[in-house]
């Protein structure tokens, strides 16, 4: 679909006259045809002149003024409506409080009815819909201006983009922040929904909590859907405001974290990526701007389900001026908690636990030479009932990862615990491109604390199964930032990295979201359909914000219906539920790099970096494996057998669903790197491998016993040959099972997703065929001997008879 067609189908009818006149601007780019006589099949246009440029710029300016003025007027109108609704809500609430105080006394003030609250709720819902429509209006018009400027520069050869960028900055209709609207609407809607009885509690309960045990699921949200998602959530949960008395400021929602690691081994990165038991992440976090004096020192510890424990995040607070002294060991833990102990606000047991945590973190930082490597920054909008952490939803926008290391000779942090040349000034334009990674999506986290057998609310299940979000289990800001900011040092990549250039937007498959009575389009407002010229490339900003368009399967119900079910230690998590879904007709097709390519893409590159004899040994091993693979492939090609029809490679990336068919393309890692596929390993996997080895051992002993019995009690060559055959078969089975067991344990320990770890089709087949062959040969030789013996006896008998005659 071309953008002009998309604009006509996606616009809101009430705003029809205020959209960019995209078709008119497109026609203005076409000059008249040349009047000179030319062949009928040749049509050329006049060259673009300065008058044409002035005419086009005047049209463009008028369109920009029209859109900017309407957006500003509509925004002011929404502000006025919110203020008017706030007065109405306060009036109804005051009447409710007055009537409750004078229940025993006659009062002329009538208590508000349910109808009053219903009317207020309808008014607020209409305002919410207006905010949603205005957000879509600005996104669609901004895309229209970008597209027409790009078309102008390509068709005319005159470069207008740099000049018009300054005009857009002067009238930034697309930069209107709707967070203040969301906060105000959330407070009013919560009052109306609860009929003047909102949930009471400490809004800062989450901030004062020391240990967190939650069931968390993460999703990516495209920028087109952020405002709509916030408006949907606020209808069910209020925005969590830590200080309701303070006027809303964007800086208050900023969260910054400094992650530490050993820059030689990257042990914390490797542990968190592989999800090994006891893997830790150590970070320092603060809320708000750089003037914040309270720093939280946090440690996240991963626990496997089979341990019976839950992953936990523990933290304690520290003054900013004491951070450097604490990390280098100059400040003792006892001095940190002296004031807390004197105040007596916490119990002695709580203080002892915090001191133990502080000692452990300080010991790890010093002994493991942990240094600051990655900073994560984002603005967080949290939705939660005050004092009630059973359901908590957070949406992190403007997510950025920034380098904090001094590895390349540049002194970013120096001897300090964080760099000071940046603050919370997104998008950090003062930084060079290699120092910052601006994540193109928002991150939605749904955190639940449900009891056994209890399911989350239905609206959460519908939200997480909708087209507005894309599930990315186990996504980590620390892992993503470290992998992208240190490409020369990190060779093991998370599984979501190859999907970064695939557009996560999906068409709406069912009615969900902020809706108007009017028909709406299933495409997003900031969609970038193809221009008239299909070979046009997206401009830099659109490439940054939208990624590359790709075919994606609809966000169907694959494991979504039971996504939030309370699971026990043996239940599958979301990665495994997706992994166990087979592809029709091709169950063994890998989605990521398998272990077969491991030598090619990872170990050989590592050996080349090491050099010396180790590299030559690995190279010889590599060529030996390639030769063996080539020989096996050649022998397979010579064997006559039915051969599959060659199909063209699929054009889609990932899994694309079309009716009953699925097309798959494997994600491959860059050369020298490997994609880490999450593999669940429990102690019972080791026990299963050991039981399998013991079964092979039992079978080998049985064969050896048979061989020894035949050898000791037989007195002919057939028994002797059979005993040797059983002995050889038993020895081969024993050696094979031992090698297989050692190989399996090694792969399980390294968490490799190798199919032969879980099943083996060649060993039992060969042993079974060998056993049948030995028995059949023994039976055949014995029958042959019996036949020869009977024949000899028969010949001897006939000779005797003839002699007697």
Hey, what's the torsion of the CAs at 611, 616, 618, 624, to 10 degrees?
160
**What tokens were used for 343?**
């105040």
Cβ–Cβ under 8 Å, residues 689 and 748: yes
Which residues, 6 or more positions from 9, have their beta carbon under 8 angstroms from its beta carbon?
1, 521, 523
CB 523 within 8 A of CB 6: yes
Which residue in this structure is represented by tokens 């920034």? 402
Strand 674-675, strand 492-493: pairing: parallel
Structure tokens at 792: 């000899």
DSSP string, 725-774: HHHHHHHHHHHHHHHHHHHHHHHHHTT---GGGT--SHHHHHHHHHHHHH
Q: Which of 150, 151, 477, 506 is catalytic?
A: 477
Report whether 450 contacts 215 (CB < 8 A).
Answer: yes
Q: Can you tell me whether residue 603 is helix, strand or coil?
A: helix
List C-alpha distances in Å: 639 to 329, 630, 634, 645: 70, 15, 9, 17
Using the structure block, give the residue that is written with the tokens 């246009």: 45
Q: Is-contact 148 22, C-beta < 8 A?
A: yes
String of DSSP letters for 527-562: ---B-SSTTPPPPHHHHHHH-----------TTTTT
The CA distances from residue 611 to 96, 620, 633, in Å, are 80, 13, 31
Burial class (CB in 10 A: 0-12, 13-18, 19+), 502: middle
Dihedral over alpha carbons 155, 161, 164, 166 (to 10 degrees): -170
- Written as six digits, the tokens of 440 are 């193109």
Residue positions counted in the chain? 805
To the nearest 5 percent, what fractions of the chain are helix, strand and coil?
50, 10, 40
H or E segment and range at residue 337: none
DSSP collapsed to 3 states, 213-258:
CCEEEEEEECHHHHHHHHHHHHCCCCECCCCCCCCCCHHHHEEEEE
Indicate if 477 belongs to the active site. yes
What DSSP string runs through 105-132?
A: S--SSPPPPHHHHHHHHHHHHHHHHHHH
Instruction: Provide the annotated active-site residues.
Output: 477
């Amino acid at each position: 679909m071309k953008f002009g067609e998309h604009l006509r189908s996606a616009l809101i009818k009430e705003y029809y006259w205020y959209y960019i006149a995209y078709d008119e601007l497109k026609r203005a780019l076409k000059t008249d045809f040349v009047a000179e006589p030319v062949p009928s099949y040749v049509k050329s246009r006049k060259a673009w002149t300065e008058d044409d440029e002035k005419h086009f710029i005047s049209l463009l300016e008028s369109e920009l003024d029209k859109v900017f003025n309407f957006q500003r007027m509509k925004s002011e109108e929404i502000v006025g409506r919110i203020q008017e609704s706030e007065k109405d809500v306060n009036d109804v609430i005051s009447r409710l409080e007055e009537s409750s105080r004078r229940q025993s006394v006659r009062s002329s003030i009538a208590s508000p009815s349910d109808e009053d609250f219903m009317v207020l709720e309808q008014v607020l819902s209409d305002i919410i819909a207006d905010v949603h429509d205005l957000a879509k209006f600005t996104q669609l018009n901004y895309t229209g201006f970008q597209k027409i400027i790009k078309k102008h520069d390509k068709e005319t050869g005159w470069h207008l983009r740099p000049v018009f960028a300054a005009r857009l900055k002067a009238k930034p209709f697309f930069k209107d922040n709707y967070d203040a609207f969301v906060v105000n609407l959330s407070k009013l809607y919560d009052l109306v929904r609860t009929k003047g009885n909102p949930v009471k509690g400490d809004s800062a309960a989450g901030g004062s909590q020391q240990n967190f045990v939650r069931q968390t699921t993460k999703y990516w949200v495209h920028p087109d859907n952020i405002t709509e998602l916030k408006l949907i959530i606020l209808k069910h949960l209020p925005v969590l405001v830590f200080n309701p008395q303070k006027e809303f400021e964007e800086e208050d929602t900023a969260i910054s974290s400094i992650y530490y690691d050993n820059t030689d081994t990257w042990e914390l990165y490797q542990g968190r990526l592989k999800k090994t038991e006891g893997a830790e992440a150590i970070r320092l976090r603060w809320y708000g701007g750089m003037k914040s004096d309270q720093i939280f020192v946090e440690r996240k510890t991963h626990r496997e389900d089979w341990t019976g424990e839950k992953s936990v995040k523990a933290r304690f607070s520290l003054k900013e001026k004491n951070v450097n002294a604490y990390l280098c060991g100059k400040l003792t833990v006892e001095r940190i908690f002296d004031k807390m102990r004197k105040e007596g606000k916490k119990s002695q047991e709580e203080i002892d636990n915090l001191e133990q945590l502080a000692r452990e973190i300080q010991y790890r930082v010093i002994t493991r030479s942990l240094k600051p490597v990655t900073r994560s920054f984002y603005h967080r909008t949290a939705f939660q009932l005050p004092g009630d952490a059973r359901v908590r939803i957070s949406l992190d926008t403007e997510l950025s990862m920034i380098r904090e290391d001094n590895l390349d000779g540049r002194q970013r942090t120096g001897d300090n615990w964080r760099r000071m040349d940046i603050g919370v000034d997104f998008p950090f334009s003062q930084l060079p491109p290699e120092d910052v990674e601006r994540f193109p999506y928002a991150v939605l986290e749904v955190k639940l604390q449900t009891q056994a057998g209890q399911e989350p609310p239905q609206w959460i299940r519908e939200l997480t199964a909708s087209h507005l979000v894309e599930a990315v289990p186990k996504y980590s800001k620390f892992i993503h930032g470290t992998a992208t900011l240190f490409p020369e040092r990190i060779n093991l990549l998370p599984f979501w990295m190859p999907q970064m250039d695939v557009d996560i937007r999906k068409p709406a498959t069912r009615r969900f979201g902020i809706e108007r009575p009017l028909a709406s389009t299933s495409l997003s407002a900031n969609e970038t359909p193809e221009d008239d010229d299909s070979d046009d490339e997206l401009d830099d900003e659109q490439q940054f914000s939208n990624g590359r368009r790709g075919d994606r399967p609809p966000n169907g119900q694959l494991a979504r219906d039971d996504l939030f079910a309370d699971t026990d230690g043996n239940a599958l998590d979301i990665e495994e539920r997706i992994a166990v879904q087979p592809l029709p007709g091709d169950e063994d097709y890998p989605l990521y790099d398998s272990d077969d390519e491991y030598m090619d893409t990872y170990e050989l590159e590592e050996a080349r970096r090491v050099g010396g004899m180790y590299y030559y040994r690995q190279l010889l091993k590599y060529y030996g494996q390639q030769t063996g693979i080539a020989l096996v492939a050649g022998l397979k090609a010579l064997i006559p057998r039915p051969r599959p029809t060659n199909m063209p490679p699929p054009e889609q990336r990932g899994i694309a669903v079309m009716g009953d068919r699925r097309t798959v393309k494997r994600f491959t890692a860059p050369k020298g790197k490997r994609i880490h596929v999450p593999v669940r390993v429990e102690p019972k996997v080791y026990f299963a491998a050991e039981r399998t080895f013991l079964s092979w051992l039992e079978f080998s002993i049985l064969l050896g016993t048979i061989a020894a019995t035949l050898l000791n009690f037989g007195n002919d060559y057939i028994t002797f040959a059979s005993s040797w055959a059983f002995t050889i078969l038993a020895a081969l089975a024993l050696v094979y099972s031992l090698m297989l067991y050692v190989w399996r344990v090694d792969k399980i320990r390294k968490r490799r997703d190798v199919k032969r770890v879980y099943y083996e089709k060649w060993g039992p087949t060969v042993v079974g065929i060998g056993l049948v062959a030995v028995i059949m040969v023994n039976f055949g030789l014995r029958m042959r001997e019996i036949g020869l013996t009977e024949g000899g006896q028969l010949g001897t008998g006939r000779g005797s008879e003839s002699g007697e005659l």
